[in-house]
Amino acid sequence: MNKSNPMTDTSLPANWFSRLAHPGVFLSWSRNWIAPLAALTIILFTIGLWYSFFNSPPDYQMGETVRIMYIHVPSAWLSQMIYTLMAVSAIGTLVWRHPMADMSMKAAAPLGAAFTAVALFTGALWGRPTWGTFWEWDGRMTSTLVLFLMYLGLVALWRTFEGQARGTRIIAIFTLVGALNIPIIKFSVDWWNTLHQPSIIKADGLSMPASIYTPLLIMVVAFTALFFTLHLVGMRTEILRHRANSLERRHVSARNGTSSGTTS
């Protein structure tokens, strides 16, 4: 199966994407991509961290604590991007039943949970010196927390369905329903918050000087590169685990076959 040439595989339309996304082909090309991507991630992090710690001015109001932003904003961006990626993969699972979409969803869920946790944690650390509190039931924070709970639910779902083929489709359905719900949750939380108390985060608008904007942008790209590196590794691991499982199953059934053959 994995030795078959995807070019001759007539069940898939012969375009570049399906050729790249064939599990066997994916394994071979992604192997060459991991090292450069990891190197790019390290370089970007080196530049970005150097910029954010040594080559950017402290904020005139928040002082040195503004540097937390260089970790906080990229992970918050990833927390939303990863869910979008999972929703797109879920469509791939439901519509085309593509195995790579399953792998992509499965590998992305724990990463999304981790980056959302980082965003919440750094946000709490940043909130303490600037607002005087670790946590505030602010609209944006609350919806990020709800998003974190959804990631945890998805990770739990993947664990419970471990090894069941039908699980992926069910999880894909839940991911999509969640994606449709996120805007509703966000809207309702904003509505609820403005009802009870005025919002306090207006500190970082878009009007920031280039000396802060540049390292932030580098860090966002660095975090994104980090995610894609980890995601590729995660997907490769999933494919290999899948193959190891089916090999084991084949081995067991073959041995059972021979043993039953000798006894009869």
Partner 1 sequence: MAIIVRDIRLTLRSGGSTITLLAFFLSVGVIIPIAVGPDKETLARLAPAIIWIAALLSTLLGLDRLFVADHEDGTNASLHHASISLEAISFAKLIVHWLVSALPLIVATPFMAIMLIMDMPTLLRTIAALMLGTPALVALGAFGASIAVTLKRGGVLAPILIMPLAVPVLIFGVSAISPAPGSGTSEAAFMFLGALSLLAFAFTPFAIALALRAAHE
Site residues, partner 1 (CB under 8 A)? 94, 146-147, 149-150, 152-153, 156-157, 160-161, 164-166, 169-170, 173-174, 177-178, 180-181, 184-185, 187-189, 191-192, 195
Pick between residue 62 and residue 145 the one whose CB is nearest to partner 1. 145
Q: Closest approach of Cβ 148 to partner 1, in Å?
A: 9
Nearer to partner 1, 4 or 197 (CB): 197
Number of residues assigned to the chain: 264
Phi, psi of 4 (to 5 degrees): -65, 140
Q: Are residues 175 and 90 in contact, defined by beta-carbon separation less than 8 angstroms?
A: yes
The residue type found at 83 is Y
* Shortest Å distance, C-beta 63 to partner 1: 35
Instruction: State both tokens at 38.
Output: 């990891």
Nearer to partner 1, 1 or 165 (CB): 165
Distance (Å, rounded) from C-alpha 206 to C-alpha 97?
41
Smallest distance from partner 1 to CB 181, Å: 5
78 or 154: whose CB is closer to partner 1? Answer: 154
Least Å from the CB of residue 93 to partner 1 = 10
* Closer CB to partner 1, 43 or 170, in the complex: 170
> Minimal distance in Å, beta carbon 219 to partner 1?
28
